């Protein structure tokens, strides 16, 4: 113990310059900011994911509920449109009811004029998408995501493509841009028993058959084709047709009882002259009466100068069922 007032020397220790201290402080602050940012990002991503999950779960529960806000669309589309709220569905149905079929009387006239003046689209698919190449050959498909969801749910995906001319770009695009799980059958009696180039994808099967309203050699009704391929109980998700006029002699067989088609993507050729009602008018009325609505229309100016035209139809419930569903659901909520 030292004497009073005696000062003992302290142990020497390293000194940190102000510059070094500022540098350390900056590193610490930056580290804290990075950690906080990471935590915020983690929280945001997980919160958003949880919200999406809850929304999907909620929508799923709503779809099966008697008070579902999607009930009109579910009933009116036979389950195809399961996420359109009643108010939006009413507007879509009103458009169908108020869109005239003919500019005047749909009287016979050259195809380029008849198709320009009559049967405009009366329905909208919010997510329609062109499948296949640009120009001649591609088709507009209504909401492909719904076909994807169906396939992923284990309910399959079936596509019939009538008319190929050795071009399989549409079929290949279906597998690439919609779902590789789609089962595709291509029909063409005009190119021989097999395509010029071997098909490389096992999901595409070629048949040297043609469509007709009666069975005659290589020409078969759609019902017979489905039975021969063991598809009698299945729905055709997409029926794509470009057969240079075979539509007029075969379309009645597409609409036979028991055949279920969700979308028809077709190029119509001529069919607008002769006795009234002309073939095109009969065709349109037949599809309309069975619940098909038009969601896309475009002239083929490249291949036939507007004398043939591309139409895309999607199947809803029959007009009577659609109207009754709106009336009944409206009454139940008032």
DSSP state letters, 32-94: HHHHHHHHHHHHHHHHHHHHHHHHHHHHHHHHTSTT-TTHHHHHHTTTS--S--HHHHHHHHH
- Could you tell me the pTM of the whole model? 0.79
Determine the average pLDDT of the residues in 131-146: 91
Mapped onto helix, strand or coil, the DSSP state of residue 299 is strand
Mapped onto helix, strand or coil, the DSSP state of residue 265 is strand
* 146 pLDDT higher than 70: yes
Residues 181-225: tens digit of each pLDDT: 999 999 999 988 888 887 878 899 999 999 999 999 999 999 999
End-to-end CA distance of the chain: 98
Burial class (CB in 10 A: 0-12, 13-18, 19+), 182: buried
Which one-letter DSSP state was computed for residue 142?
Answer: S
* 151 pLDDT higher than 80: yes
Mapped onto helix, strand or coil, the DSSP state of residue 141 is strand
Residues 177-190: tens digit of each pLDDT: 999 999 999 999 99
Contact 190, 231 (CB under 8 A): no
β-bridge partners, 187: 162, 207
* 277 pLDDT higher than 80: yes
Tell me the CB-side half-sphere exposure of residue 280, using CA atoms within 13 A. Answer: 32
User: Which among 27, 321, 303 has a CA at the least distance from the CA of 138?
Assistant: 303
Determine the average pLDDT of the residues in 20-47: 73
Determine the average pLDDT of the residues in 289-300: 95
- Give residue 78's pLDDT: 94
CATH topology of domain 77-322: Rossmann fold (3.40.50)
Dist. CA 268–CA 64, nearest whole Å:
39
DSSP state letters, 82-131: -S--HHHHHHHHHHHHHS-SBSS------HHHHHHHB-------TT-EEE
Determine the average pLDDT of the residues in 169-178: 94
- Give residue 8's pLDDT: 47
Q: What is the mean pLDDT of the chain?
A: 85
Which band of pLDDT confidence, cut at 50, 70 and 90, is reported for residue 23?
A: confident
Give the residue with greater pLDDT, 53 vs 162: 162
Burial class (CB in 10 A: 0-12, 13-18, 19+), 108: middle
Please report, for the chain, the start and end positions of each structural domain, with discontinuous segments joined by +.
Answer: 19-64, 77-322
Determine the average pLDDT of the residues in 40-47: 67
Give the residue with greater pLDDT, 179 vs 306: 179
Contact 248, 211 (CB under 8 A): no
Dist. CA 266–CA 127, nearest whole Å:
19
β-bridge partners, 184: 159, 204
Between the CA of residue 136 and those of 111, 291, 301, 310, what are the distances in Å?
18, 28, 9, 10
Dist. CA 191–CA 10, nearest whole Å:
103
């Amino acid at each position: 113990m030292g004497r009073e007032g005696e000062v003992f020397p302290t142990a020497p220790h390293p000194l940190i310059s102000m510059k070094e201290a500022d540098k350390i402080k900056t590193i610490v602050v930056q580290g804290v900011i990075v950690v906080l940012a990471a935590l915020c990002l983690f929280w945001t991503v997980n919160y958003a994911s949880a919200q999406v999950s809850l929304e999907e779960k909620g929508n799923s529960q709503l779809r099966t509920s008697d008070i579902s806000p999607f009930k009109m669309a579910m009933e009116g589309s036979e389950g195809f449109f399961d996420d359109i709220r009643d108010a939006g569905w009413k507007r879509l149905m009103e458009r169908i009811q108020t869109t005239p079929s003919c500019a005047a009387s749909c009287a016979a006239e050259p195809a380029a004029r008849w198709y320009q003046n009559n049967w405009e689209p009366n329905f909208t698919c919010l997510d329609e998408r062109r499948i296949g190449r640009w120009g001649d050959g591609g088709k507009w498909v209504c909401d492909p995501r719904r076909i994807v969801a169906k396939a992923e749910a284990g309910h399959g995906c079936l596509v019939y493509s009538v008319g190929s001319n050795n071009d399989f770009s549409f079929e290949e695009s279906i597998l690439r841009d919609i779902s590789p799980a789609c089962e595709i059958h291509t029909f063409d009696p005009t190119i021989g028993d097999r395509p010029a180039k071997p098909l490389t994808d096992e999901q595409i099967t070629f048949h040297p058959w043609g469509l007709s309203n009666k069975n005659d050699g290589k020409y078969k009704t759609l019902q017979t084709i489905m039975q021969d391929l063991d598809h009698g109980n299945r729905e055709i998700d997409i029926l794509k047709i470009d057969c240079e006029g075979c539509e007029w002699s075969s379309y009645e067989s597409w609409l036979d009882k028991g055949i279920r088609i969700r979308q028809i993507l077709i190029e119509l050729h001529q069919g607008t002259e002769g006795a009234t009602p002309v073939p095109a008018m009969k065709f349109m009325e037949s599809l309309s009466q069975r619940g098909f609505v038009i969601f896309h229309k475009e002239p083929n100016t490249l291949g036939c100068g507007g004398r043939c035209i591309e139409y895309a139809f999607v199947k809803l419930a029959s007009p009577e069922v659609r109207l009754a569903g709106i009336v009944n659901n409206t009454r139940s909520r008032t």
